[in-house]
Structure 1
Amino acid sequence: MVSDEMRKKFKTNLKKIMALKGKNQSDIVKALNFKQSTVSDWLNGKKYPRMDKVQMLANYLNVDIIELVDNQSNDSITFTNTEKALIKNYRQLNEQNQQAVTTMINSLLAVENSTFEKDAVG
């Protein structure tokens, strides 16, 4: 499920990149054959695009997909190529499978933390 924060960050990133590239909403609609209302919803933070659409936007704007979807301050985090690929793949999953991945990660972290605590005590 896409959070309000994710929609807001995507909207902000998309507007910033469009301004830097000298592109407007009509340019995107025409070049990528998207519906005007859909692009408007993205730019107003009402909707979040599917990852295939995000990739098309990134290609059109000649930026890395992470520049559109990154929910962190650019100063605070840098993603490796593996992390970028994982994020891209995760966002292509349906909500149920995203939850399964989250559950698996949390389980693995619990095991690692448990092992770490045992090592620290012993």
Structure 2
Amino acid sequence: MAKNIVKYMELNGVDRNKLSADLGISYTTITDWVKGKTYPRIDKIEMMANYFGINKSDLVEEKKYTDENTHSTVYNTVLKLMENDNQAFTDIITNLEKLNDDEIEIVRNMVISLSALKKKKD
């Protein structure tokens, strides 16, 4: 779980200080979660999931991505999509049925991350 918390903090450009302040949770508690010393209660897991715009399971479950080429290809396609490239949108729709659950999760996480980056730019 600690790895997932760190992952979503990095994806959203949030450090422990910001997460602590935004959620009203002590810095020490968040540090313990990030280091895997303790685990958050379900209400705090739900609070973090809502904060990051993800499912609670995204924080709790270990995700394994085995195909880095797929990850890279999907990432580049989503980047193009975010830049209003209509061909990228067509590529995703055309290939969506070929993606397994892990690959769909990769796309979902990238869209969340890219949306957060876009909000920061605006």
- Are 1:51 and 2:51 an aligned pair? no
- Are 1:27 and 2:18 an aligned pair? yes
What residue is the counterpart of 1:83 in the other structure? none
* TM-score, structure 1 normalization: 0.51
Deviation digits for residues 43-73 of structure 1, max 9, x if unmatched?
1110000010000001011111111001353
CA spacing shift, 1:74–1:50, aligned 2, 3 Å: farther
Hey, what's the Cα distance between the residues in 2 that align with 1:71 and 1:18?
A: 16
Q: Secondary structure at the match of 1:42?
A: helix
Structure 2: gaps (5+ residues)? 67-99, 103-122
Structure 1: gaps (5+ residues)? 1-9, 79-122
Hey, what's the Cα distance between the residues in 2 that align with 1:31 and 1:47?
A: 20
- Aligned pair partner of 2:56 in 46, 65, 69: 65
Hey, what's the Cα distance between the residues in 2 that align with 1:68 and 1:41?
A: 15
Identity rate, percent: 32
What RMSD over aligned residues (CA atoms) do the two structures have, in Å? Answer: 1.9
Hey, what's the Cα distance between the residues in 2 that align with 1:72 and 1:31?
A: 26
Deviation digits for residues 29-52 of structure 1, max 9, x if unmatched?
101100111000001110000010
Number of aligned positions between the proteins:
69
Q: Which runs of 4+ in 1 moved over 6 A?
A: 75-78
* TM-score, structure 2 normalization: 0.51
